[in-house]
Homo-oligomer: A and B are copies of this chain.
Amino acid sequence: MMLSKNKIKYIQSLKDKKRRMEHGTFVAEGKKLVSDLLVSCQCQFIAVLPEMLYEFAHLKNKGVEIIAASEEELKKASFLKTAPPVIGVFYQPENDFSSVNLKTNIHLVLDGIQDPGNMGTIVRIADWFGIEDIFCSPDTVDIYLPKTVQSTMGAIARVKVHYIDLDDFLKNNSELPIYGTFLDGENIYKTDLSENGFVVMGNEGSGIRPHVEKWVNRRLFIPNYPALRTTSESLNVAAAAAIVCSEFRRRQ
């Protein structure tokens, strides 16, 4: 139909972080995700099956390029096993957090999360529990990697992800509660939890690294059960994030 070879090539090039940074864009696939993003992100163009064109036609007024594409073309452009009926290319939002009030609400801090699935799951958890900002070390997996974008299931449209030097950032906010989970921490079920502050989650293999750990001023522990049973050494980082966020919100 009309999704040009050049556009297919461009979409495919966006699996590469360098290309994404160059263009300041990223790819999202599927009706739900594209629709969610259209609410909050500026769209460069959308490629969609002719029979679904009418659902996106109103975007033309907003200056969005709408391209009718064949199944074959979408298949070539897609990163998924099964090509979706719609693919969108969006502009990465400005990652400015100067207007974020860091003193209220809970914020997540990710120290070197590597797995795109874990990253997507954590963004969904943040979204579910009304955590609007996530601060990541520069070596945390890129939120705009196609795999990560997909695994957020749309939560990426509502949660802001910032990549920053955590050492500096936590230093500047060290008067606020900074939580982390450790095997020698306090029982999370029985400890007072504040209504604001930061919750640090660490790398899949090595956990929270020393230069970040030194800023943690409230050490938590998710008790295993029964306490004396030989068990896994740790929970998966996304599972731990889910439990910690749930505990914070349960008290509120």
- Chain B residues contacting A143 (CB-CB under 8 Å) are none
Closest B residue by C-beta to A224: B128
Contact B231 A127 (CB under 8 A): yes
Indicate if the CB atoms of A121 and B231 lie closer than 8 Å.
no
- A246 / chain B contacts, CB cutoff of 8 Å: 222, 243, 246-247
In the complex, the answer to whether A128 meets B158 with C-beta atoms within 8 Å is no
Across-interface contacts of A226 in B (CB, < 8 A): 130
Partner of A121, one of B153, B158, B238, B252: B238
A130 touches B224 (CB 8 A): yes
Let me know if A232 and B130 touch, CB within 8 A: no
Residue in B closest to A155 when the chains form the complex, CB atoms: B232
Given A225-B129, A225-B252: A121 touches B232 (CB 8 Å cut-off): no
* CA of A91 to CA of B176, assembled, Å: 52
Does A230 reach chain B (CB closer than 8 Å)? yes
Is A223 in contact with B249, judged by CB distance below 8 angstroms? Answer: yes
Are A124 and B239 closer than 8 Å at their CB atoms?
yes
B252 with A129: CB separation less than 8 A: no
Interface string of A144-172 (1 = CB under 8 A from B): 00000000011100100000000000000
